[in-house]
Amino acid sequence: MKKIITYNVNGIRSALSKGWMDWIAAVNPDIICLQEIKAHPEQLDLKVFEDAGYHHFWFPAEKKGYSGTAILSKSKPDHVEYGCGIKDYDFEGRVIRADFGDVSVMSVYMPSGTTGDIRQTFKYKWLDDFQQYIDELVKKRPKLIIGGDYNICHRAIDIHNPVSNANSSGFLPEERAWMEQFINNGFIDSFRHFNKEPHHYTWWSFRAGSRDKNLGWRIDYQLVSQALEKQLKRAVILPEAKHSDHCPMLIEVDF
């Protein structure tokens, strides 16, 4: 059984300063998908991860202090794929994948459109391109886990106030429709597979005590290809972990 965590840490150096490694030691995940690392490996003491028993693979954005993904793993992957081969996205370090036998684990940091029209347009192009990329990938790697910050709330149950956020980036009808068809195209929303209840979120604004009041959004997912359905054993959100404005999500998969 493998425990896999996805976590937008909003800066790995910031998370480390808040006791992140102690938390990792307690949870003891086998594979960790990180997003928004905001650092290059040479800016980190990599021995910290090695001493904890992890191989580590980093795909930072070329722009310093921005975006970036990583995968930490207790067992060495057979292969690590850096990027998706599309320059605009690889420049921002948005995708990294590790293959373990016939199972692939991807960490993905999807663009946000919250800063305005230019980035929202970029996000829509990303969604189209990412769909095509995954359509091709699953032909070769059908057992695929895509953990990450999708920057989209799928349904009204996934956001604390769907009415007032109807025109907010991350909950726009086009984004939600994309999420629906992406899942229906061969994936399982692992959290919703086990939990149909409301009020479960993975991100909260820093404003107005949103986290204490649990006024959040569920935008971090581990989507698991249907080929792995029988091997998917558990999926939980871990809101007690407070190293970021996001919280981690954990799944257990038998492989």
> Could you report the per-residue pLDDT of 36-81, keeping only the tens digit for each?
999 999 999 999 999 999 999 999 999 999 999 999 999 999 999 9
Q: What integer best gives the mean pLDDT of the chain?
A: 98
Q: What are phi and psi of 28, to 5 degrees?
A: 55, 55
2-253 to CATH, choices 3.90.79.10, 1.10.357.10, 3.30.470.30, 3.60.10.10: 3.60.10.10
Give me the pLDDT at residue 236, please.
98
Domain ranges of the chain: 2-253
Compute CA 90 distance to the chain's CA centroid, rounded to the nearest angstrom: 16
Residue 29 has pLDDT above 90, yes or no: yes
Give me the pLDDT at residue 172, please.
98
Beta-strand relationship, 69-73 and 79-82: unpaired
Give me the pLDDT at residue 181, please.
98
Q: Which amino acid is at 118?
A: I
Residue 125 belongs to what H/E stretch? helix 117-140
Give me the pLDDT at residue 230, please.
98
Give me the pLDDT at residue 144, please.
98
Instruction: List residues with catalytic annotation.
Output: 149
Residue 208 has pLDDT above 90, yes or no: no
The pTM of the full predicted model, rounded to 2 decimals, is 0.98
pLDDT (mean) for 122-132: 98
pLDDT (mean) for 17-30: 98
pLDDT (mean) for 223-234: 98
Task: Kindly write down the DSSP assignment for every residue of 12-48, as one continuous string.
Answer: HHHHHHTTHHHHHHHH--SEEEEE---S-GGGS-THH
